[in-house]
Structure 1
Amino acid sequence: MGSKGLMTSKKYIKKPTVRKSNPKSKWIFYLISFVLFLFIAFGVYKFRDGFLYYLGFKTDKNVATLSKEDRKLADIRIYEVLHKHDDKAIGFDVSEYQSKIDWEQTYHIDEAFELSFVFIRATAGKNKKDKQFNRNWEAAKERQLIRGAYHYYRPNENSIAQAENFIKIVKLEKGDLPPVLDIEKLPKSQSIDSLKVGLRRWLKKVEKHYKVKPIIYSGESYYTDFLKKEFKEYPLWIANYNFWRNHLENDWLFWQFTEKAQIEGIEGMVDLNVFNGDKNKLLLKCIR
């Protein structure tokens, strides 16, 4: 009985399990790590000037309303785009949302890039006038910035009434940029075809009044999806904030590449724009 009990005990004793490493799992881990490394390396290389600029000069940057990391990425991209377009005119755009601006401070971005032009919101819809338009319009002229006025189009309001609102408020002069139609929203109570008819009416009426072809402002995807086929004869001001894009297209007259810039004299964040040419070429686009 003692012998049988011993044998039974031996039968149920389990040896520790030795887990063998899975070569396939290691291979996947190394592959993912390598791809991640390449992705980071590519990003650093592509935006190398921006990274070096940030590390060298931006460690005490005011983060405004962004987190520290978001502010850092915004500054890197802004510097990178400006650095790659240092032969082109740089400008910004404002509205009443920037409150009162100290225009005497608005000369440069970080003392490195001159600001040459500004777009100022004048009107919105059929009866809205920007609260700061008159002040901004006159101040920009005194500051000797090349200035332009834009209208924020409301798709569900009468297009002719909107054009008349803009014409009533904006008195363009020699040296000003052509009027701008800002279209960003889709209609709620009409078809896309009806929207296009309204846009065409606004553009035609405004062009007839000022004797110059207006500029269309829109997001790149919005323009490509809804406007490009019918409105390709109009000059373009395109908004695209994609972090990985750092060049404008040949058919873009202006490129709004960020909404997160900081400019001395302006509270909060501001849109920045690149003109597809230098300041002298920009002057040729102005009303004569």
Structure 2
Amino acid sequence: MRQKITRSKTTIRRKPRKKASFFWGKLRKYSIIGFFILLFLGVGYHYRDGLLYYLGFKSYKLKYEQAEAKRISDIRNYQVLEKHKGKAIGLDLSEYQGKIDWDLVENIENEYPIEFVFIRATAGKDREDGQFEENWLGAKERKIIRGAYHYYRPNENSLEQAQLFIKTVHLKKGDLPPVLDIEKLPKGQSLDSLKIGLRRWLKAIEAHYKVKPIIYTGEKYYDDFLKKDFSGYLFWIANYNFYREKIKDDWLFWQFTEKATISGINGNVDVNIYNGDVGQLRFITME
């Protein structure tokens, strides 16, 4: 009987491939990046004159557009002032204008004297304007008829806002009546609730100063929310649109621009027209 010979299978082990060196992989990566950087710089250098011309043109275009917008605004301002000769012209200011050189504040367009100024005193229930005291004194020293206004925040307690204004503003004979500035709609409360708050502020202020306050707002806000329910008050209306050329009969003041340039004041300034001459303006001041 033959003995069966069993051959054992030989397992062939393959040597693992040697991985590319980490160093060479990084070198290749940075070489590619470096190549594209050099290519970009080379193209930029080659077309440098064209690029500089293009960038210069864009900068010039932006400056031209800004200058053109300023020119158009100045033309409108002058046209509006021309149509209201004899009316009292004034400004309204806040800390956003920074420190004002009151010795230089005299007229608009070197022709129209500044007869009055409204100065922001307070905002909300806890904010006093950082420049109020200085501006309040500056207007008095320049013998400009002055008035103070409060920026109303709909979602804050109206009586606390009134008390802050009363604590901050001490009106004297010859000053304009206090002003309530309302521009925004409330968040999370109804219009009825807003109007209740406005009335509380107005009544508290009238009880303290013994004079009916003036209400400042935009024309659309006035037409949509205030005109009917607050008809017993006098209004100061803001409207900067080109179609509006003259003050309406039922407006006490008209803020017709926010882009005027006044000597002694940095940046743009709001300009207002009173619906009467300076003698009539004095007639509505505090006694």
TM-score by length of 1: 0.77
How many angstroms apart in 1 are the aligned matches of 2:76 and 2:192? 37
Q: Which runs of 5+ in 1 are unaligned?
A: 1-62
Deviations 1:27-75 (A, max 9, x none): xxxxxxxxxxxxxxxxxxxxxxxxxxxxxxxxxxxx9998011101100
1:11 match: none
| Aligned partners of 1:163 and 1:202 also within 8 Å | yes
1:262 match: 261
1:207 match: 206
How many angstroms apart in 2 are the aligned matches of 1:167 and 1:179? 10
2:178 match: 179
Query: Which of structure 1's runs of 4+ aligned residues deviate more than 4 A?
Result: 63-66
2:130 match: 131
Decide which structure has the larger Cα Rg and report it. 2
Deviations 1:69-116 (A, max 9, x none): 110110011000101111100000000000000011111112111110
How many angstroms apart in 2 are the aligned matches of 1:69 and 1:103? 29
Residues 188 and 245 (structure 1), Cα distance of their counterparts in 2 relative to 1, 3 Å cut: same
1:59 match: none
How many angstroms apart in 2 are the aligned matches of 1:80 and 1:255? 15
Greater CA drift, 200-209 or 108-117: 108-117
Deviations 1:147-167 (A, max 9, x none): 000000000000000000000
| SS of aligned partner of 1:203 | helix
2:284 match: 285
Residues 178 and 64 (structure 1), Cα distance of their counterparts in 2 relative to 1, 3 Å cut: farther
| Aligned partners of 2:78 and 2:109 also within 8 Å | no
Following TM superposition, by how much is the alpha carbon of 1:230 offset from its aligned partner in structure 2, in angstroms?
0.7
How many angstroms apart in 1 are the aligned matches of 2:111 and 2:133? 29
Deviations 1:199-234 (A, max 9, x none): 000000000000000000000000110111110110
Amino acid at match of 1:142: E
1:145 match: 144
How many angstroms apart in 2 are the aligned matches of 1:257 and 1:195? 26
1:228 match: 227
How many angstroms apart in 2 are the aligned matches of 1:228 and 1:245? 18
CA RMSD, Structure 1 to Structure 2 (Å): 1.4
Residues 65 and 94 (structure 1), Cα distance of their counterparts in 2 relative to 1, 3 Å cut: farther
| SS of aligned partner of 2:206 | helix
| Aligned partners of 1:64 and 1:268 also within 8 Å | no
How many angstroms apart in 2 are the aligned matches of 1:71 and 1:275? 24
1:122 match: 121
| SS of aligned partner of 1:274 | strand
| Aligned partners of 2:177 and 2:212 also within 8 Å | yes
| SS of aligned partner of 1:257 | strand
Greater CA drift, 235-244 or 117-126: 235-244
How many angstroms apart in 2 are the aligned matches of 1:198 and 1:167? 16
| Aligned partners of 1:103 and 1:265 also within 8 Å | yes
How many angstroms apart in 1 are the aligned matches of 2:167 and 2:176? 17
How many angstroms apart in 1 are the aligned matches of 2:105 and 2:175? 18
Following TM superposition, by how much is the alpha carbon of 1:135 offset from its aligned partner in structure 2, in angstroms?
0.3
Amino acid at match of 1:139: G
Amino acid at match of 1:169: T
Deviations 1:117-145 (A, max 9, x none): 00000000001000000000011000000
How many angstroms apart in 1 are the aligned matches of 2:222 and 2:201? 17
